[in-house]
Structure 1
Amino acid sequence: MLFAVLFTDKPGHGNLRAENLDAHIRWVAERRESVLVAGSLRVDPGAVPKGGLWIVEVPSKAAVLDLMKSDPFYICGLRQDIEVLHWSKALEDKVLV
């Protein structure tokens, strides 16, 4: 199943994000089979991220939550809010990058 996962970071925790960014990027790279797309969300291109977005393919919402709990950004306490939504891809011929 496909899921969209929306993360909101705790305000004022840009330093915590920066300190754990390399570990988080390695973690995402090691899970490419499940985490199809991942990236930060910002108000402006140069701004500190306010959160992130994943597109994940796993069997269940419980599997998304289990996966997320091993993410360095989750472990370090960066995340303020997490929303996991079932996602239906509209354009089947469009490849995810």
Structure 2
Amino acid sequence: MIYAILLMDRPGTADLRIQVRPDHRAYLAKLSDRMAFAGPLTSEDGKTVVGSLLAIDFASRADVDAWLKEEPYTKAGVYEKPIVHVFNNMWAQKVGFPPAP
């Protein structure tokens, strides 16, 4: 089942986010075969990161919670309380849209 996970950053954690990013990306990479999408959320300027949005296949909500507990940004205190919902994709994804930077 795909879970959409909304993770907003705590105020004042921009430098911590940058510091922990390599560990965060390595942790995400372990689930690359189960990931529908993942990426940062930004403010209107398109540059200032304010959180993350992930859509990942997990067997259960308990598995999501266990994964989040060990997620590097969570452990470092970057993220506030996650918002998690089951996601039913009703629209076909377009591969490579928009192109990755």
TM-score (norm 2): 0.84
Give the letter for the 1:45 counterpart: G
The answer to whether the Cα contact below 8 Å between 1:37 and 1:96 also exists between their aligned partners in 2 is no
> Counterpart of 1:57?
57
Could you say if the C-alpha distance between residues 32 and 13 of structure 1 is closer, same or farther in structure 2, counting changes exceeding 3 Å?
same
Residue 24, structure 1, aligned to residue 24, structure 2: yes
> Counterpart of 2:2?
2
Report the number of matched residues.
95
> Counterpart of 1:94?
93
> Counterpart of 1:82?
82
Question: Which runs of 5 or more structure 1 residues have no equivalent in the other structure?
Answer: none
| Percent identity of paired positions between Structure 1 and Structure 2 | 24
Runs of 4+ with deviation above 2 angstroms: 33-36, 93-97
Give the letter for the 2:13 counterpart: H
TM-score (norm 1): 0.88
Deviation at 1:96, TM superposition (A): 6.3
Determine helix, strand or coil for the equivalent of 1:79.
coil
For residues 30-89 of structure 1, the C-alpha deviation after alignment (integer angstroms, 9 at most, x for no partner) is 221333321110012122x11100001011111111111111101111111200001111
> Counterpart of 1:40?
40
Determine helix, strand or coil for the equivalent of 1:80.
coil
Question: Which runs of 5 or more structure 2 residues have no equivalent in the other structure?
Answer: 97-101
Supply the distance in 2 between the matched residues of 1:79 and 1:23 (Cα, whole angstroms).
14
Judging by fraction of residues, say which structure has more helix.
2
